[in-house]
Structure 1
Amino acid sequence: MNAVNTNTPNTNAADRHALVFGATGFIGRHLVLALGRAGVRVSTATRNPASHRRLTRWLHEHGHDTTPADLRTDFTDPALIQGDHQDVTEIYNCAGAYRFGMSADEARHANVDSVRAIVAFAARLPHLRRLVHVSGYRVGGQDPAPWNEQRRRETYQALGAYEASKVEADAVFQAEANRLNVPWSIVNPASVIGDSATGESDQYLGLASTLKDLWHGSLAAVPGNARTFVPVIAVDHLARFMTLLPLDDDAEHTAYWLLDDDTPALPSLLALVAEHYRVTTPRARIPVALLKRLPPRLTKADPETLTFLSEDRYPTTSAHAFAARHGLTMPDTAPTIHRWADHLAAHRFGDAPTGDRRFITTGGVRTFELGEPGTPTVVLPGLPVNADTWAPVITAMDHARAVDLPGLGMSAGHHGDWPAWLTALVTETGARHLVGHSIGAAAAVEAAAAHPGTVERLTLVAPFFLQARPARPARWTPLTRWYLSRVTPEALTDRLTGGTAPATALRSSVTDLRRGAAATTAARLLAATAQPRWREELQATLRRYPGRVHIIVGSDDPLTPEGRALVDTLPRVTVTTIPGAGHHPQLTHPDDLARAVREHATSPTTPGGLKITNA
């Protein structure tokens, strides 16, 4: 049973009108969502209609169809807000700039001047019950006494523009709100991480950048010592906490440090994520004092982030008491961190911010998947590329997904995991139509052979075992591994397609090949494609498959005469040739490829005959 708060005014959600500044930011979006789910009427202060449209779209994607009122804000206008706002009962200030490398003037304008304007605006509202300000766990609790120029200069020099501006803003907020008799509350959140249920986050600074280095194997040493504490808080928990503040009389004129006390010390936190990522945690540690002395070109760390590497602990008792009073429970620490870490990696730490992307566990293997979850059409990519190269095709196909094979792309594991992994892919995730490209065609055929009654259809794109063997240099694993671990996107694109136009699409593949053992796995599999025994086994297995088969090749990468002869014997087969395409049509002809897969996924072949088409 949730605790009853005897200090809560008799306020119905319908009587509340919340105005949110910074509503399109990370915290602001989740706050608007939490307020909306609580039944509170919400208005958002945005700079332009496009910002409001993006927010509305995001809310709709998260299952909330009630559109908040769009009030235009202009911090250069003394009125600040245009639109109907006189009945606003609560204001949330999530505005400001979270960015390192700003000048002092830029930071003060974004984080201090905006606070002054919002407090002055709040003082003019006749029905205001609370103004809630987002400060920070390292900057909260400031003395509201006015700053002189010497203090300002020394603080900005010592802390850097971002943190110093947040320190000054905390003091200014309290001073101005007290002077103007504005009822206020402050939240001092720790490092705000992803949603506790989904891990969703689009913040890639601070701790997230350290996880990026860990993922890519470029973290040479763990910063700090065994007591370094960089606490976290899930964004949805923070948002729910904030929505309750205007309801509690005891929260007036109170600041709350909001963080998960169970956050492991930094070395243990990184070890927790490293184990989840299946990567190695660096054994070396580098003291913060030394980090501050080394040039950024060596540490690859922004000097402004180093002040967050501290052994300090924070006064969280009042926040715990408030949460208990309102029946609000902190999400489980480790699962929340894992989900956040997954979301960051799945979205390539901001390099792939959009799209439906996730990690799943398939046959005990951590597997990257993009596209519609659970759809029966599954693409198995070829070598040496990843599922991301198929993203445009997946989008055009609709109701499809692509997965990285074990040991390739962003998936863990190795070739030895194929049998259990393919079984789980078919029997547990609902894969019924397997679209295998090159080496993925081998995986598709093997899965169909193991589960002929479940795999209903095969689409084989450039199936290597029906085409010419790779050139001799590609059969020597050490040379191929060396090449793949060092190749540039432009060079790889030229080798695979004969041009450099699709180089952008291969950047993520090149990044993946430089992680862990991906280049080694790709090199070994590429060499294996030349082995006569495996090619013959795959051909024989394909002959025995009773389902429908659609083979897609480029005109510049045809079937061999032997491959064509085998296809002629298959009872339910369609062959499509894409003019001008080579071995990687997903890079050069994505629309033609998507159309070929989509059109033949539902059209039956003539029983007992061969159907040949051109895309």
Structure 2
Amino acid sequence: MSGAGRHALVFGASGLIGRHLVLALTREGVRVSTANRSSASYRRLAGWLDARGGGAAPADLRVDFSRPSLFEGVRQGEGVREGEGQFEFEEITEVHNCAGAYRFGMSAREASEANVDSVRAVVAFAARLPRLRRLVQVSGYRVGGQEPGPWSAERRRDVYRELGAYEASRVEADAVFRTEVERLGVPWSVVNPASVIGDSATGESDQYLGLAQSVRDLWRGSLAALPGDGRTFVPVVAVDYLARFMALLPADESTEGGAYWLLDDETPALPDLLTLVAERYRVRAPRTRIPVSLVRRLPRRITRADPETLTFLSSDRYPTGSARALAARHGLTEPDTVGTILRWADHLAAHRFGDAVGGGRRFTEVGGVRTFELGERGASTVVLPGLPVNADTWAPVVDALGDARAVDLPGLGMSAGGVADWPSWLAALWEGGGVDHLVGHSVGAAAAVEAATARPEAVRRLTLVAPFFLRAPGARVARWAPASRWYLRRVSPEALADRLTGGAAPADAVRSSVADLRRGAVAATVARLLAAAGQERWREELRGGLRRFPGDVHVVVGAGDPLAPEGLALLEALPRVTVTEIDGAGHHPQLTRPRDVARVVGAHRAVRGRGSGERPRRVVTNRSATGES
């Protein structure tokens, strides 16, 4: 499909559907302009497109739905500046309306203004475009196909009361759209997508409502029962497939006046879909199933579901034949739905359901163990976090280092498996090569030493941050696993931060670690490792492994968490060791002094091939040098 001669204007371009549509249109060679509410939303869109090879950024037009012309400072028929040239609305050949508010809990007025008034304004705007070939409207699989015609005040009140503000506003918007395009003679097409989930290849999505909430509850272990039965149908569609489908509509004259339901008829029934995700997450799916009729009668404090989402729990089916036929005619293949669901579920969990932003977060398979890592894929420096924290606490250090990644050990953080998997998992880290520098913190230092002694030819450098086996043993209470497990499953972020650093300032940094400790067996694994860290046999094995390691060793400690005399004596006897002491830090310097940690680790990483006769040296990092507190 060629984009020659096409100029698309996309409303709602910074949303999930909108930005994928802009990307799809651009890849088809269509000239694209975008209507954005703010410069900030446009910058986010432009950055997102650039990261995905979207080519030149689209034109940025500032939209205001309260204005008769829709665009700030512009009267209909006037041009606006677009880069170095002149933009004319009269050049637009197609309009795609992805604008609207997707959230629950709105008032009827809020929902109507966002989802109904905006549709009316877009249709009126499109009717004034002389070269318009098509107006494409995004509706919904549960609300599409409404009869045109004005609503009475009584009908509006009844529908909004029955369905809730969000869905009712989408029903009304569909009816208003059909009324206005017929009245004004606007050529149109409508897409009625199912629940829009992530990209079919990457799973990427930043939408966390609806079905994503049930997936989140599965991940956190808070889903008490599976809603519905074998006929409860909550279909899905991949966002990139939806975007490609929308992009082809204006180029096919036969689609004018057509409405297309986009969903996979083979989407598993809701309880089966959630069970698939539970298997992916290595968590147990609830055994109990609750009929939809009962879910709707239970109070929200029990279901923990927004009442507006319950109308989506249905056994209804939808007319998908025309969409399938059109896609087949244009060679558009629907992606595998189950695979897309699982990749989407991975992305949601890796980004902690919206609590963790930024790229470079993913699940991988390492030695058969589902493993979470953040940072640069395939980086040569690998950070193994300590206890009881996770890879997220090392994100600032990893970002500052570059060519680095932090990886949750099996059984810890967001990684599956357990301590028994460590030997095979560590060996698998080197499969394919590329890893030559291990940074291990606390118990991660133990894993790093074990890996280095097992594969001395592969690991060129070790950085050991606060290695517990070179310090004095911890408090006796930490050696009793039941007490530690009980504490860790109940500790607050503020209390944990205070316990680890002597203050509550890093509470936000350990919030995700606290969430991990409440999942599955993570707290129990941490408790067992804390107890094992006090066992002299393991400590001596690790010291012996360090003596045998032939490569460079860098030991980083906080001034408030010094090495034991015997630990320092061991290091003084080794030929290729550097010791760095960070002023103002304790056992978790990555929480309180991340820039200092990144600087000293990076400086050692840059030093290769020390002479075998070099003795250890202690470098004290000056607090005032970085300004960190």
Query: What is the TM-score when the length of structure 1 is the normalising length?
Result: 0.97
Match of 1:506 in 2: 510
What is the rounded CA distance, in whole Å, between the counterparts of 1:146 and 1:115 in structure 2?
14
1:274-333 alpha-carbon deviations (Å, 9 max, x no partner): 101000000111122222222212211100000000011111000000000000001012
The amino acid of 1:210's aligned partner reads S
The amino acid of 1:257's aligned partner reads W
**C-alpha deviation, 1:110, in angstroms:** 0.4
- C-alpha change, 1:91 and 1:429, in structure 2 (3 Å) is farther
What is the rounded CA distance, in whole Å, between the counterparts of 1:220 and 1:431 in structure 2?
42
The one of 530, 535, 553 aligned to 2:534: 530
**C-alpha deviation, 1:569, in angstroms:** 1.3
The one of 519, 522, 537 aligned to 1:518: 522
**C-alpha deviation, 1:188, in angstroms:** 0.3
1:108-159 alpha-carbon deviations (Å, 9 max, x no partner): 1000000110001001001000000000000001111221111111110100
Q: Secondary structure at the match of 1:209?
A: helix
Task: Compare 318-327 and 66-75 and name the one that shifted more.
Answer: 66-75
The one of 609, 613, 617 aligned to 1:611: 617
**RMSD (Å), alpha carbons:** 1.0
The one of 40, 50, 70 aligned to 2:40: 50
What is the rounded CA distance, in whole Å, between the counterparts of 1:279 and 1:568 in structure 2?
47
What is the rounded CA distance, in whole Å, between the counterparts of 2:312 and 2:372 in structure 1?
32
The amino acid of 2:112's aligned partner reads R
What is the rounded CA distance, in whole Å, between the counterparts of 2:333 and 2:41 in structure 1?
32
What is the rounded CA distance, in whole Å, between the counterparts of 2:267 and 2:2 in structure 1?
35
- C-alpha change, 1:149 and 1:124, in structure 2 (3 Å) is same
What is the rounded CA distance, in whole Å, between the counterparts of 1:399 and 1:509 in structure 2?
24
Mapped pair 1:241 → 2:245: yes
Identity %: 70
**C-alpha deviation, 1:270, in angstroms:** 0.6
Match of 1:330 in 2: 334
Mapped pair 1:108 → 2:112: yes
**C-alpha deviation, 1:355, in angstroms:** 3.1
What is the rounded CA distance, in whole Å, between the counterparts of 1:556 and 1:446 in structure 2?
26
> Are 2:26 and 2:55, in contact at CA under 8 Å, matched by a contact in 1?
no
1:171-230 alpha-carbon deviations (Å, 9 max, x no partner): 110110011110000000000000000000000000001000000000001111121010
The amino acid of 2:262's aligned partner reads L
Q: Secondary structure at the match of 2:456?
A: coil
1:471-497 alpha-carbon deviations (Å, 9 max, x no partner): 100000101010101111111111111
- C-alpha change, 1:65 and 1:611, in structure 2 (3 Å) is farther
The amino acid of 1:465's aligned partner reads F
Query: What is the TM-score when the length of structure 2 is the normalising length?
Result: 0.95
> Are 1:374 and 1:429, in contact at CA under 8 Å, matched by a contact in 2?
no
Mapped pair 1:80 → 2:70: yes
Match of 2:152 in 1: 148
What is the rounded CA distance, in whole Å, between the counterparts of 1:430 and 1:368 in structure 2?
18
What is the rounded CA distance, in whole Å, between the counterparts of 2:492 and 2:40 in structure 1?
37
Match of 2:11 in 1: 21
Mapped pair 1:262 → 2:252: no
The amino acid of 1:571's aligned partner reads P
1:574-609 alpha-carbon deviations (Å, 9 max, x no partner): 100001211000011111111110011112444322
Q: Secondary structure at the match of 1:13?
A: coil
**C-alpha deviation, 1:429, in angstroms:** 6.3
Structure 2, unaligned runs of 5 or more: 75-79, 81-87, 622-629
Task: Compare 53-62 and 15-24 and name the one that shifted more.
Answer: 53-62
> What pairs up with 1:303-314 in 2 under 5 angstroms?
303-314=307-318
The one of 496, 499, 511 aligned to 1:492: 496
Q: Secondary structure at the match of 2:314?
A: coil
> Are 1:202 and 1:353, in contact at CA under 8 Å, matched by a contact in 2?
no
1:419-447 alpha-carbon deviations (Å, 9 max, x no partner): 11000112246321000000000100111
The one of 476, 483, 495 aligned to 1:479: 483
The amino acid of 2:440's aligned partner reads G
Match of 1:7 in 2: none
Match of 2:287 in 1: 283
What is the rounded CA distance, in whole Å, between the counterparts of 1:429 and 1:297 in structure 2?
52
**C-alpha deviation, 1:61, in angstroms:** 1.1
> Are 1:344 and 1:350, in contact at CA under 8 Å, matched by a contact in 2?
yes
What is the rounded CA distance, in whole Å, between the counterparts of 1:178 and 1:237 in structure 2?
28
What is the rounded CA distance, in whole Å, between the counterparts of 1:101 and 1:477 in structure 2?
44
> Are 1:426 and 1:447, in contact at CA under 8 Å, matched by a contact in 2?
no
> What pairs up with 1:170-185 in 2 under 5 angstroms?
170-185=174-189
